[in-house]
Amino acid sequence: MKKVSIKDIAQMAGVASSTVSFVLNGKARKMRISETVEKRVIEVARNAGYYPNQLAISLRTGKSKTLGLIVENIGNPFFATLAKTIEEEAEQYGYRVVYCSTENNASKGKELINMLSQRQVDGYLITPAPHMEDDIQQLVQLNRPVVLIDRYLPTVEASHVLVNNTEAVAQGMAHLFSRGYREIGFVTVDLDVIQMEQRLDGYLGALSKEGIRLNKDIILKIPYTHNRDESVDLIAGLLKDNPQLDALFFATNYLAILGLESINRLKMNMPEDIAVISFDDHDIFRIYPPGITSIQQPVEAIAKKAVALLMDFCESPENKMTKTEIELDAKLIVRGST
């Protein structure tokens, strides 16, 4: 069977060979080729069984048309949605995505960066684990396109896209205060990452603004490495040791889910016995009686902004990367738990 060529695709699609080349090399947007023509070329190429030689393209253009995505845990709903949107957005630019998880382990993060570098990815989207500063700074110094997502590293001059964590927690606390709650415990993860520090700062700032004296005994930091049962026990212990609590603010949705198990174990009712609010929404929060109030991150917007920012770097290699900081607003979703 004769091998299908770009010229063959051009004849079948009724366009110039250069148009086919631009489309198949992911340059349709840059060359201002209409979406209708782009789709027709792709459909004709697919039906004809034409697949470009990616290695040849890489050698010719110096680009692999691949992005590396490193997140904390791809199994977490937040990061799963983030990855899905990033993959969809990258595809619009003609890029594929290789993604992997660090489990907040800096050594694993270093290995993943090395692996992606060996695969010659064109850019990196990274949710940095603690102590990954040197590895990411090295990418920046080499002028590799890098955008940090969900969190950033204060000592690294890399662009980042994330939610305004401090303001989001302040918004949630204001909601609790408006409902009359004053004894509000805070459950977070004991991990040296900037977004958790910002969320705790939002909690402390809200208490101070409301004139409520800080009680460190009602702030619970759960080690990231704790298993489920250990974490449930710790949250149950917080509730038993502090019967004055009338609300709990969970800094992540997975902690909130563990908290629901603790509350159920103690046969407490929401919001009569204890009100609950979680940073990060979750599908289960819509259906778990009476519905869990949450701070909803704009996950898709974060992903789209991050990809657009990275593409500016990837598609303009002559431009030296400049640090861009983007913070997006979260949304309070009020349900029956408060």
Q: Are residues 19 and 107 in the same domain?
A: no
- Residue 323 pLDDT: 86
Phi, psi dihedrals of residue 232, rounded to the nearest 5°: -60, -40
pLDDT by residue (tens digit) across 250-305?
Answer: 999 999 999 999 999 999 999 999 999 999 999 999 999 999 999 999 999 999 99
Q: Are residues 178 and 290 in the same domain?
A: yes
SS3 assignment, position 200: helix
Q: Single out the residue in 16, 31, 52 at which a domain terminates.
A: 52
Residue with tokens 């470009």: 52
Q: Are residues 191 and 303 in the same domain?
A: no
Could you tell me if residue 193 is inside a domain? Answer: yes
Q: Are residues 170 and 283 in the same domain?
A: yes
> Of how many residues is the chain composed?
338
Could you tell me if residue 335 is inside a domain? Answer: no
Q: Are residues 96 and 155 in the same domain?
A: yes
Full residue range of the structural domain in which residue 129 is found: 63-162+299-328
Could you tell me if residue 337 is inside a domain? Answer: no
Could you tell me if residue 334 is inside a domain? Answer: no
Q: What is the CATH number of the domain that holds 216?
A: 3.40.50.2300
Torsion of CA 120, 121, 127, 133, to 10 degrees: 40
Q: What is the CATH number of the domain that holds 32?
A: 1.10.260.40
Joined together, the tokens standing for residue 60 give 């010719």
- For 152, other C-beta atoms within 10 Å of its C-beta total 24
Q: Are residues 105 and 141 in the same domain?
A: yes
Q: Are residues 138 and 189 in the same domain?
A: no
Q: Are residues 32 and 152 in the same domain?
A: no
- Taking residues 23-38, report their average pLDDT: 81
Q: Are residues 156 and 305 in the same domain?
A: yes
> Does the pLDDT value for residue 62 go beyond 60?
no
* pLDDT category of residue 53 using cuts at 50, 70 and 90: low
Could you tell me if residue 235 is inside a domain? Answer: yes
Name the DSSP letter for residue 321.
P
Could you tell me if residue 174 is inside a domain? Answer: yes
pLDDT by residue (tens digit) across 70-127?
Answer: 999 988 889 999 999 999 999 888 889 999 999 999 999 999 999 998 888 999 999 9
Q: Are residues 151 and 169 in the same domain?
A: no
Distance CA 244, CA 273 (A): 10
Q: What is the CA radius of gyration of the chain?
A: 24
- Residue 120 pLDDT: 86
Q: Are residues 173 and 210 in the same domain?
A: yes
* pLDDT category of residue 136 using cuts at 50, 70 and 90: very high
Q: Are residues 48 and 68 in the same domain?
A: no
| Number of separate domains in the chain | 3
SS3 assignment, position 76: coil
> Does the pLDDT value for residue 59 go beyond 50?
no
